[in-house]
Amino acid sequence: MAEIRINGEIDAVVPVGISKLGTAIYDNIQFPEGQWTDVDGNAQTYPSFRLDAVTLRVNRRKDIVKTNRAGANGTIKEYISFDDFQIEVVGIVTPQAIDLPNAEPVAELEKFAKLEKAETSVSIISKLLNNYFNVTHVVVEDFGMARIGANSWQITMQLISDNPIDLKDFG
CATH of the domain at 56: 2.40.30.200
* Residue 1 included in any domain: no
* Residue 3 included in any domain: no
Give the number of other CB atoms < 10 A from CB of residue 91: 20
* Residue 132 included in any domain: yes
- Number of folded domains that form the chain: 1
For 108, the domain range is 8-170
d(CA 103, CA 98): 9
* Residue 146 included in any domain: yes
* Residue 162 included in any domain: yes
d(CA 167, CA 41): 18
Name the phi and psi angles at 151, rounded to 5.
Answer: -145, 20
pLDDT for position 8: 60
Please report, in tens digits, the pLDDT of each residue of the chain (171 residues total): 455 555 566 556 677 777 766 777 777 899 999 998 888 999 999 999 888 778 899 999 988 898 888 888 889 888 888 999 999 999 888 776 555 666 777 888 888 888 888 888 999 999 889 988 999 999 999 999 998 877 888 999 999 999 877 777 766
* Residue 96 included in any domain: yes
* Residue 2 included in any domain: no
Check if the beta carbon of residue 15 is closer than 8 Å to that of residue 1. yes
pLDDT for position 96: 65
